[in-house]
Amino acid sequence: MVSLQFTKVGHHNRNSFADFAVTRHAAPRRLTRPTRVGFQVCASNSQTEPDLSVSVNGFRMPNPFVIGSGPPGTNYTVMKRAFEEGWGAVIAKTVSLDAAKVINVTPRYARLRAGANGLAKGQIIGWENIELISDRPLEIMLKEFEQLKKEYPDRILIASIMEEYNKAGWEELIDRVEQTGIDAIEVNFSCPHGMPERKMGMAVGQDCAMLEEVCGWINAKATVPVWAKMTPNITDITAPARLALSTGCEGIAAINTIQSVMGISLDTLRPEPCVEGYSTPGGYSCKAVHPIALAKVMNIAQMMKSEFNLKDYSLSGIGGVETGDDAVEFILLGANTVQVCTGVMMHGYGLVKKLCAELKDFMKKHNFKTIEDFRGASLPYFTTHTELVRRQQEAIRQRKAVKKGLESDKDWTGDGFVKETESMVSN
- C-alpha span between 424 and 427 (Å, rounded): 9
Contact 73, 79 (CB under 8 A): yes
As a residue count, the chain comes to: 427
Buried b (16+ CB within 10 A) or exposed e, 53-79: bbbbbbbbbbbbbbbbbbbbbbebebb
Where does 259-322 have alpha helices with state H? Answer: 290-307
Per-residue three-class SS string for 193-243:
CCCHHHCCCHHHHCCHHHHHHHHHHHHHHCCCCEEEECCCCCCCCHHHHHH
Is 191 known to be catalytic?
yes
Residue 159: name the closest of 137, 187, 140 by CA: 187
Active-site choice (42, 191, 249, 356): 191
Query: Is residue 175 within a helix (H) or strand (E), and if so which, with residue range?
Result: helix 167-178
- C-alpha span between 256 and 254 (Å, rounded): 6
Could you tell me the sign of the dihedral formed by the alpha carbons of 328, 332, 333, 336, in that order? positive
Please state the separation of Cα 222 from the chain's center in Å.
Answer: 23
Active-site residues, by number, are 191
